[in-house]
């Protein structure tokens, strides 16, 4: 889906908000169709495996927020780890400077030799991969953590 978004937004210059809505509807239709055709007959697909929780010693025994923040699975911890990593990458690396330049003023970025279209493709596909991590959380990790409470 990230690659489709990149192609339609960069090559065909379709408005990204409208394109995002259309791709969400496409994904919803495809998953509903594939579920009806492939997965509804086999009940083993309806119970996906989950990630086990990892309790951080000491911090998980804090009365109010201990189990909510420090007794979670690996996807939860990866999401919180990605926030400072992405901040560092955007504001302290050459890639981040180029990404911000391409977003703010693509003509000036092209003038200094940055390949605007290629960088946009890579960034949109990377954003799609990070969004896929959110999908992993919703399907595999969140049901396990909500079953605890």
pLDDT at 140: 79
Break the chain into its structural domains and give their ranges. 1-47, 64-149
pLDDT at 145: 61
Give the model confidence (pLDDT) of 32-83 as tens digits. 998 888 877 777 766 777 788 889 999 888 988 888 888 888 888 998 899 9
pTM of the model: 0.81
Give the model confidence (pLDDT) of 70-106 as tens digits. 888 888 899 889 999 999 999 999 999 999 999 999 9
| Confidence grade of residue 144 (pLDDT, cut at 50, 70, 90) | low
Tokens representing 26?
A: 């496409």
Which range has highest mean pLDDT (53-67, 113-127, 133-147)? 113-127
Least confident of 6-20, 32-46, 55-69, 112-126: 32-46
For the residues 16-40, what does the mean pLDDT come to?
Answer: 91
Tokens representing 139?
A: 């399907």
User: Exposed, middle or buried, 12 (CB in 10 Å: 0-12/13-18/19+)?
Assistant: exposed
Q: Which helix (H) or strand (E) holds 79?
A: helix 74-92
How many angstroms separate the CA atoms of 107 and 16, rounded? 19
Tokens representing 105?
A: 């003023």
- Give how far the C-alpha of residue 126 lies from the chain's centroid of Cα atoms, to the nearest Å: 8
Beta bridge partners of 54: 72
């Amino acid at each position: 889906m990230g690659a489709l978004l990149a192609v339609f937004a960069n090559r065909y210059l379709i408005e990204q908000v409208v394109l995002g809505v259309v791709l969400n509807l496409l994904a919803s239709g495809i998953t509903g169709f594939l579920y009806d055709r492939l997965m509804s007959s086999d009940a083993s697909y309806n119970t996906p495996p989950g990630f086990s929780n990892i309790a951080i010693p000491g911090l998980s025994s804090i009365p109010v927020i201990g189990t909510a923040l420090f007794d979670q699975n690996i996807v939860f911890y990866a999401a919180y780890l990605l926030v400072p990593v992405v901040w560092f990458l955007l504001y302290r690396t050459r890639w981040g400077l180029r990404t911000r330049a391409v977003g703010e003023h693509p003509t000036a970025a092209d003038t200094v030799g940055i390949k605007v279209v290629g960088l946009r493709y890579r960034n949109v596909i990377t954003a799609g991969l990070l969004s896929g991590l959110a999908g992993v959380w919703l399907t595999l990790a969140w049901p396990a953590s909500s079953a605890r409470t």
